[in-house]
Structure 1
Amino acid sequence: MTKQEEKTPYTFNDLVNVMKALRTPETGCPWDLEQDFDSIAPYTIEEAYEVEDAIKRKDFENLREELGDLLFQPIFHAQMASEDNLFNIYDIIHDVTDKMITRHPHVFGNATAQTGADVDQIWDAQKSKEKGRNNQDSILDDVPRAFPALLRAQKLQKKVAKVGFEWPDISGVIAKLDEELDELKQARHSGDAAHHAEEIGDVFFVLVNYARMHGLNAEEIMRAANDKFERRFRAVENAVKVDENKALKDCTLEELEAQWQAVKKAEKKAKA
């Protein structure tokens, strides 16, 4: 490629201007013009998950693309906000830059931090000062309701644990789990669907607490469980098609269970 054929790299401002063009009345894109904060929010979440998926797969070419898609999301939101004279993308950049400087006084100020734990304490202390200025009613106010349920449960538990609302040791959580399982069994036969659902939620909540107290991430644990189930069932599907030359719908539960157990056995043998 000659120098004449080389393309000048686009800049951040170019992307901002593309977004402005897409939202320009009369000449913009009809779909983009129809959107609002609520309609775009699911896409923002979806793009974040796609970034994580690329990271998990270590597909860095795809990661580059997905990070671009994610970058476009705050620009989209900022453009809509600027149209209503709320804020613009440069306000966002200013605010987050100021926040990062303020919350890292061990880098940009006189504080010292030797470990990650030290940094966590500094971060939380500074965040508390900021929240105090914002007249926060509860320490739980900054745990977003839109978080995935398991993640939100773990965040809530972590918050209250920091102020002493915590089991002294893991035995308390295990006892609570036994209690909630007993209540779930009773609710199952109560005929009250809402109460049954509530007790299922209580069991989930205690299990998240159990994971947290072991230093584990409940969301990651559930994702791994999903991946394991999917991997094993795909193996069952393949075995049914290849070994038995049958469709899944033509198999009995006993046949599928036998294949499932065979897959589990093969996995354990491979790990040994």
Structure 2
Amino acid sequence: MEKICEEFERLVQIMETLRSERGCEWDRSQTHDSLKPYMVEEAYELLDAIDEKNDTKMMEELGDVLLQVIFHSQIAKERNAFDVLDVLRTLNEKLIRRHPHVFGESPGYSYEQWERIKSQEKGSTKTSAIGELNKALPALSLARRIQENAAAVGFDWPDVSGALEKVKEEVKELEEALQNGDSKCVEEELGDLLFAVVNIARFSNVDPEVALRKATEKFASRFKMVENFAKERGLELNKMTLEQLDALWEEAKGGE
């Protein structure tokens, strides 16, 4: 534990030096706003490392995420707002407060209790079981969270089959909207379909954000293979028929 404290203190001191007059010009110029893209980027790079099951890369990316925390804390300290000690203290107190079944007398963990404590912390006058919409979340993650809250009070399908039937129903309604050519209706029905698909992901213990990212990466990989096949045969994609492109696509799938 002593070594952990030493290394953490060293990290804080390094950041203070980088932000000082004798520090790095780039680091000194950063603000909370300018750093926002880096926090998102580092978080997704960590997810990639986890997916790859690469411990060395994961260790490095966790460090990069921690760097963002220290960076923001140092900027806040310079504004006399808070410092990294305040961040740590607040986190420790929140962890203890949200786990009364470990640090208190509560008999055991429950999702409802977790959400109730969160609501109390935020001073929410919660009138709905689904809570407040956390608009900071990506749309797929937000949908899953809302569904989890609704399910916690019993508003849920008995099993995944009900969710699957709902997807089929939404597909039909989307088809009708497309036939009618009403863009607003298409947007609504497409949203309903995506929301229904998230329900299947939730029942299957699959993160819809991760699933969509992997599907996108798979598509990109196959498309590059199609491009390579076409180039090897002296073909130009924009001059090929859909049937020819589909044949190369199937070949790419087989090559995986």
Whether TM-score is above 0.5 comes out as: yes
Q: Which residue of 1 aligns with 2:41?
A: 46
Alignment CA distance shift 1:193-1:52 (3 Å):
same
Kept in 2, the 8 Å contact 1:22–1:33? The answer is yes
Q: Which residue of 2 aligns with 1:131?
A: 119
Q: Which residue of 2 aligns with 1:258?
A: 247
Which is further off, 204-213 or 30-39?
Answer: 30-39
Query: Of 12, 20, 33, which residue of structure 2 is paired with 1:16?
Result: 12
Distance 2:173 2:97 in 1: 47
1:157-212 Cα offsets, whole Å, 9 max, x none, are: 11111122223444443443333223322322444423322221111111111221
Distance 1:197 1:265 in 2: 35
Q: Percent identity?
A: 41
2:162 matches 1:158 = no
Kept in 2, the 8 Å contact 1:211–1:217? The answer is yes
Query: Of 208, 218, 226, which residue of structure 2 is paired with 1:228?
Result: 218
1:58-87 Cα offsets, whole Å, 9 max, x none, are: 333322222221111111111222223222
Alignment CA distance shift 1:142-1:80 (3 Å):
farther
1:8-34 Cα offsets, whole Å, 9 max, x none, are: xx722222223223333x544443344
The gaps in structure 2 that reach 5 residues or longer are 1-5
2:169 matches 1:179 = yes
Query: SS of the residue aligned with 2:74?
Result: helix
Task: Write the mapping of 1:176-215 to structure 2, written as runs, cut at 5 A.
Answer: 176-215=166-205
Task: Write the mapping of 1:31-110 to structure 2, written as runs, cut at 5 A.
Answer: 31-109=26-104
2:228 matches 1:238 = yes
Which is further off, 81-90 or 177-186?
Answer: 177-186
Distance 1:167 1:65 in 2: 41
Tell me which amino acid in the other structure corresponds to 2:224: R
Q: What is the deviation of 1:258?
A: 0.8
Kept in 2, the 8 Å contact 1:143–1:155? The answer is no
Q: Which residue of 2 aligns with 1:216?
A: 206
Distance 2:151 2:50 in 1: 31
Kept in 2, the 8 Å contact 1:54–1:60? The answer is yes
Q: What is the deviation of 1:109?
A: 4.7
Distance 1:206 1:236 in 2: 32
Tell me which amino acid in the other structure corresponds to 1:78: S
TM-score, normalised by the number of residues in structure 1 = 0.77
The gaps in structure 1 that reach 5 residues or longer are 1-9, 113-117, 268-272
Tell me which amino acid in the other structure corresponds to 2:153: V
Query: SS of the residue aligned with 1:216?
Result: coil
Tell me which amino acid in the other structure corresponds to 2:123: N
Task: Write the mapping of 1:113-124 to structure 2, written as runs, cut at 5 A.
Answer: 119=109, 121=110, 124=112
Tell me which amino acid in the other structure corresponds to 1:23: R
Q: What is the deviation of 1:140?
A: 4.4
Distance 1:95 1:219 in 2: 29
Kept in 1, the 8 Å contact 2:131–2:149? The answer is no
Q: Which residue of 1 aligns with 2:3?
A: none
Distance 2:71 2:210 in 1: 29
Alignment CA distance shift 1:262-1:81 (3 Å):
same
